[in-house]
Amino acid sequence: MLFENLHLLKTYIKAEWLRPLAYTAAPSQPQPNWSALRLNKAVPLLYNQPEFRGFEIHDYHTLFAPPSMDADKIDLLSTTCASALALPDYRDRLLENYALAANENRAQFLALENQEEERWRKARGRW
């Protein structure tokens, strides 16, 4: 069994070298285009299986700045990146590659990090 980023596995799935058993997103997330992966039906959400109720894994990438960087420059960088991620062509390209763009501000990202830490702490004690 392997938990891996769908973007990295798409070639192996299309070639039928790997068969996805479940998908680890939340039901509220957009689902991948399974037919683009040459699959005849949707892959079930692990989240909905009784043993894994509420289980989801997300890969995310973040830009970090040095602690000494001026807050105004950080805000400008953040706003510029969010604007680029909001461009329709770029968002479509991300979706084609099984990725979602997000644009949390610093406080929202810190809250996400804290939530993830707590979620994984609970998960470690569950299995």
Which pTM was predicted? Answer: 0.62
When mean pLDDT is compared across 9-23, 24-38, 78-92, the lowest value belongs to 24-38
pLDDT for 55-86, tens place per residue? Answer: 777 777 888 889 999 999 988 988 898 888 88
114 has pLDDT over 70: yes
Question: Which helix (H) or strand (E) element contains residue 104?
Answer: none
The pLDDT, as a whole number, for residue 127 is 59
The pLDDT, as a whole number, for residue 69 is 94
Residue-averaged pLDDT of the chain: 84
Q: Which of 98, 115, 72, 101 is nearest to 4 (CA)?
A: 98
Give the separation between CA 12 and CA 19, rounded to whole angstroms. 8
Report residue 126's pLDDT band, with 50, 70 and 90 as the boundaries.
Answer: low
Tell me how far the alpha carbon of residue 54 is from its chain's centroid.
15
